[in-house]
Structure 1
Amino acid sequence: MPELEEGDAEPKFRAIACADGVRRGIRLETIYWDGLASLVAGSRHSLSDIVERASVQVGEGSNLASMLRVLAFRWMWRRYSDLQAAYSADTLNTLVHACPSPVIVLTRDKKIQLFNEAFVTLLKQRLALGNVLQLSTGFRFVLETQVEEALEILASKGKMITTGFTASCGGRQLSGQINLAMVPTHRKPMVIGYIVRH
């Protein structure tokens, strides 16, 4: 369960002047005011527009504050759902396979999650692999920067890092440089690596 930030649950009163000339006094917890501010920032409407529309929906004598809470939560829920879809495994798979250069995705525990055809072609050419099945028998892919360390650097600085790599199989070895970035995902932390020199 996420921890609340200080003041999230603190009620705040605001008077909102709407276009219909009515000034409406509303008491909402800070987190809902923040949610409504995000909603307004992502739309062409003002806060007074949102309040006026909500008041029309609830009608006279109903709870306007409750309707605004529902609107803020619904907007955040839609945003969350959209982000989940954008950061899904299917989307990541599409991005990896759409890249013309060799790409590999590694999990925190150094397991290969995904790779593209250009990566396989590189290995076939340089390591004399006969087929992809050899990747599961004796193939090793090692980064000079540990995946755990790379994830920490990427999480704190938010930029790409370049490091060395070594791929080996059947007594043959391939070394080069790889650009690492954090995989945008709501699931387990992963890095995506674009091989830039080999």
Structure 2
Amino acid sequence: MPPASQAIELNDRLPTIDASDIEPHFRAVAARAGERRGIRLERIYWEGLRRISTESGMTTADIVQRAATQVPESANLASLLRVISFKWALRRLTQLEEKTSLNNLNAIVQASPAPTIVMTRERKILLFNEPFLSMLRNRFSLGEVQQLARGLKFLIDTHVDEALDTFERNQGTIIKTSFTVSLNLQSMRGKINIAPAPSHEKSMLIGYVSGF
């Protein structure tokens, strides 16, 4: 049995379900040939079929008609439509997770010509690129990369949690702020543009240094 703290965290991640979500909704779907079928599905599966229709250019009736030709003897049409809807959602989820993996995020960081970092909610630098390292080397006479883990502090003037909350409320925005980086008794100030890092694994910030 998981600890209480883990159970609470899991409950926070589960979606809220109300009575309308689990109540099947009846719809009469007419095929191109005029054949009508009465289908009862929960609202979430109708939404899945709507999204499949938008992506594929097929109508919901077309999807139902094609599914009807694939129904095995041991199943029914409504069950098959639920499977189709859920498998489509899983496929989309897999595609999005692949695109927003840490490997792809690192590629975005390395491709940037500006000094670029990815910072976690705990204000730790998870990823950085060569221009960022060059900036530190020029300012602090930094030798080996290992020195980054010994005494280097990087702080932005905007609180990380507040920035993440802002991005969640206002999609497509950036925050222009300042940063301070220090190593031992040396420090420097600069300007940085931050945005939500495109990663599904955790909430993080990606920052592009605009001046120092």
For this structure pair, what is the TM-score category when the shorter chain's length is used for normalisation?
Answer: over 0.9
Once superposed, what is the RMSD of the aligned Cα atoms?
Answer: 1.6
TM-score, structure 1 as length reference = 0.94
1:166 maps to which residue?
Answer: 180
Code of the residue aligned with 2:197 in structure 1: it is: V
User: What is the distance in 2 between the residues matched to 1:157 and 1:86?
Assistant: 22
Code of the residue aligned with 2:88 in structure 1: it is: W
The partner residue of 1:144 within 137, 157, 177 is 157
SS of the residue aligned with 2:70? helix
Code of the residue aligned with 1:43 in structure 2: it is: S
Aligned residues: 198
**TM superposition shift of 1:61:** 9.1
2:190 maps to which residue?
Answer: 176
User: What is the distance in 1 between the residues matched to 2:93 and 2:18?
Assistant: 19
| Structure 2 CA distance for partners of 1:85 and 1:52, relative to 1, 3 Å | same
CA offsets, 1:160-194, max 9 Å, x none? 11110011113222211111111122222110000
CA offsets, 1:28-69, max 9 Å, x none? 111111111111111121111101100011168951111111
1:22 maps to which residue?
Answer: 35
**TM superposition shift of 1:133:** 1.6
2:62 maps to which residue?
Answer: 49
**TM superposition shift of 1:127:** 2.0
Code of the residue aligned with 1:86 in structure 2: it is: K
TM-score, structure 2 as length reference = 0.88
Runs of 4+ in 1 over 2 A off after TM superposition: 59-62
**TM superposition shift of 1:5:** 4.9
**TM superposition shift of 1:142:** 0.9
CA offsets, 1:69-108, max 9 Å, x none? 1100010010011111111111111111111110011100
**TM superposition shift of 1:21:** 2.5
Unaligned runs of 5+ in 1: none
1:65 maps to which residue?
Answer: 78
**TM superposition shift of 1:6:** 5.5
1:110 maps to which residue?
Answer: 123
User: What is the distance in 2 between the residues matched to 1:174 and 1:124?
Assistant: 12
1:33 maps to which residue?
Answer: 46
Unaligned runs of 5+ in 2: 1-13
Contact 1:178/1:194 (<8 A) preserved: yes
SS of the residue aligned with 1:42? helix
1:88 maps to which residue?
Answer: 101
Contact 1:179/1:194 (<8 A) preserved: yes
User: What is the distance in 2 between the residues matched to 1:175 and 1:126?
Assistant: 11
Contact 1:88/1:185 (<8 A) preserved: yes
User: What is the distance in 1 between the residues matched to 2:75 and 2:114?
Assistant: 59
2:10 maps to which residue?
Answer: none
**TM superposition shift of 1:155:** 1.5
1:11 maps to which residue?
Answer: 24
